[in-house]
Amino acid sequence: MSGDSPAVAGRLFDVQRYSIHDGPGIRTTVFLKGCPARCLWCHNPESQSFVPQVLVVETRCISCGSCARACPRGAPPPGSSLCTACGACVEACPSGARQLAGREATVSELMEEVLRDRLFYDESGGGVTFSGGEPLAQPEFLAALLAACRAASLHTAVDTCGAAPRQRLLALTPLVDLFLFDVKLVDDARHRALTGLPAGPILDNLRALAAAGARLWVRVPVIPGYTDAEADLAATAALLAGLPGIGKVCLLPYHATGARKTARLGRSYPLGELAPPPAGRLESLAALFRGRGLAVQIGG
């Protein structure tokens, strides 16, 4: 890594401190902006675009007109082509109804932020997780962040959908203590229909990481009517059982966070009012993985 790597900059949309769901221990999760996938159930739709976006939380709006007065274009609704995401309306909003998803940060700035909680990492076995969006879509920024964390002796995790050039992925492996790798479906055609991406290259990347000795936690979203068929999950379990380095499988039950966020972006949500899967259903699906000798966790 070059000596000026702390000056490398990238774009993120959130930093969550005291996270306990993105790897072991207490962690800081850094959400990088931009993703090649378009999963129908995406719970961070503001992560998909690489450019900043304005979100409007209607329940916080007090109709004071501050946003319209501050915006040179009259504060158009979210999703409008008239909005340039300059942030003027966000700064003017007294109630926090308008929010800007997407900001630039350097490695030095982010490291200063994550190191504030070093005591919690050390005591809990935690560290820093890079998520998104898809962190591998900003490879230079991610590599510089991982190198800085390694220099500071911080545990690192990368939460990825696996959609990246294989050499890019493997080149980062020495800097990553844990990969949180999403496996939506094994079936290629249905994977394309639900995410916009082919499954084959993603699964090949998973195999390559396993062969390279990477430590892996596999995350499987359980979306009722889309990814929760027993045949699909049995196929995923069979794949994972044949790979080394799979520490555990996390079954992630669908939740409606993405629906609310999609509305705030001025877009319609493709899954309507889909209900989360019942606990009993999740337990029966977990048995498919346990039957293959895999450790399973519901959630996380």
pLDDT band at residue 86 using 50, 70 and 90 as cut-offs: very high
Q: Report domain extents, the chain.
A: 5-50+102-298, 53-101
Percent of the chain residues topping a pLDDT of 70: 99
For the cut 60, the answer to whether the pLDDT of residue 3 exceeds it is no
For the cut 70, the answer to whether the pLDDT of residue 52 exceeds it is yes
Q: Is the pTM of this model over 0.85?
A: yes
- pLDDT at site 2: 41
Q: 46: closest CA among 276, 252, 263?
A: 263
**Under DSSP, is residue 38 helix (H, G, I), strand (E, B) or coil?**
coil
- pLDDT at site 79: 87
Q: What is the pLDDT of residues 217-274, one digit of tens each?
A: 999 999 999 999 999 999 999 999 999 999 999 999 999 999 999 999 999 999 999 9
For the cut 60, the answer to whether the pLDDT of residue 214 exceeds it is yes
Q: Is the peptide bond before 133 cis (omega within 30 degrees of 0)?
A: yes
For the cut 80, the answer to whether the pLDDT of residue 1 exceeds it is no
Round to whole Å and give the CA distance between 177 and 174. Answer: 8
**Under DSSP, is residue 257 helix (H, G, I), strand (E, B) or coil?**
helix
- pLDDT at site 106: 97
Q: What is the pLDDT of residues 130-179, one digit of tens each?
A: 999 999 999 999 999 999 999 999 999 999 999 999 999 999 999 999 99
Domain 5-50+102-298 has CATH 3.30.428.10: no
Mean pLDDT of 43-53: 95
- 53-101 fold: Alpha-Beta Plaits (3.30.70)
| R_g of the chain computed on alpha carbons | 20
